[in-house]
Amino acid sequence: MNKKLEATQRLLEVMDRLRSECPWDREQTFASLRKNTIEETFELCDAITAESMEDIKEELGDLLLHIVFYAKMADEQHAFDYADVCNALCDKLIYRHPHVYGDVLAESPEEVKQNWEALKLRKKARKSGLLGGVPRSLPAMVKAFRVSEKAASVGFDWHSAKDVWAKVQEEISEVEQEMTSGDKARLESEFGDLFFALINTCRHYGIDPENALELTNKKFIRRFNHVEKAINESGKELCDATLDEMEQHWQEAKCNE
């Protein structure tokens, strides 16, 4: 048995014992683990953003534990087991990669995506259609990117980034109009349209909007921390500083980057 198979066997045996002997593991259900699974997924995302291979390895392990845990509970209910999960995944991957396992040609990542979505829709024959597979609980920005990506995979898309940027400009104008209307619901709707158009623009330029915004979040936090530290070192609290003082230290932070 090779190293990878031995490690997998060891993990499955550890899970069997924990489920049998640990009071906490024994009482867990699909529902009770759900929130922890979501948390572990975000922790993995944090590790990826930080580009820390050691943290990525650890968080992948934590997420893998949940997969094994769910499979173990399903096995106890005689629904499916870990092998069924792996085999179903392999069957799906082979089916959705006819350019690798069949005679379909796909010479670019975009063609692969189009084939993938077409095969997925055909295989599952969802009554809810192409967008039915997008999880409802996804964060709004990720969901917007995913639904526009899926729509684009069947040709429902702007012809160019220039076209979608014109849509952004149009949405900005509509937001500005609603700013003076006093109708908060309509303003909220127009802001949503603007965000969606911006996310579409990111997609056309190959930019992940979630990553882009997170980079800006980190940049803002870094600069604001500098402002706070500088104000405190001057003997003041942030609430006592003037906007001009804070802006001065903000510019210092920018120059130091």
Q: How do residues 192-230 score in pLDDT, each as one tens digit?
A: 999 999 999 999 999 999 889 988 999 999 999 999 999
- pLDDT one-digit tens code per residue, 112-166: 666 766 666 666 545 567 788 788 888 899 999 999 988 888 889 999 999 999 9
Q: Evaluate whether residue 9 is within a structural domain.
A: yes
- Out of 80, 102, 122, a domain closes at 80
Whether 49 is covered by a domain: the verdict is yes
Instruction: Give the max Cα distance, the chain.
Output: 72
CB-based burial of residue 116 (10 Å sphere; 0-12 exposed, 13-18 middle, 19+ buried)?
middle
Asked which of 17, 47, 80 is the last residue of a domain, the reply is 80
**Average confidence (pLDDT) over 61-84:** 97
Residue 71 in this model has a pLDDT that exceeds 90: yes
Count of CB atoms situated within 10 Å of the CB of 155: 7
Count CB atoms within 10 A of the CB of residue 171.
19
| Residue 171 within a domain | no
- Which DSSP string do the residues of 144-174 spell out, in sequence order? HHHHHHHHHHTT-S-SSHHHHHHHHHHHHHH
> What average pLDDT does the segment 228-243 reach?
93
Query: What is the phi/psi pair of residue 210, to 5°?
Result: -65, -45
Place of tokens 């500083």: 241
157 in any annotated domain: no
> Number of structural domains, the chain?
2
21 vs 17: CA distance, rounded Å: 6
Q: Which helix (H) or strand (E) holds 235?
A: none
Residue 172 in any domain: the answer is: no
Query: Is 146 a domain residue?
Result: no
Residue 243 lies inside a defined structural domain of this protein: yes
65 neighbors 33 (Cβ within 8 angstroms): no
- Its domain, for residue 15, covers 3-80
Residue 47, domain member (yes or no): yes
Evaluate whether 47 touches 58 at the Cβ level (below 8 Å).
yes
Spatial separation of the C-alpha atoms in residues 26 and 7, rounded to whole Å: 23
Checking if the pLDDT of 89 tops 90, the result is yes
Q: pLDDT > 90: what percent of the chain?
A: 69
Where does a domain end: 59, 80, 101?
80
**CA–CA dist 133, 124 (Å, integer):** 10
CATH of the domain at 12: 1.10.287.1080
The pLDDT tens digits for 23-63 are 999 999 999 999 899 899 989 988 998 889 999 999 999 99
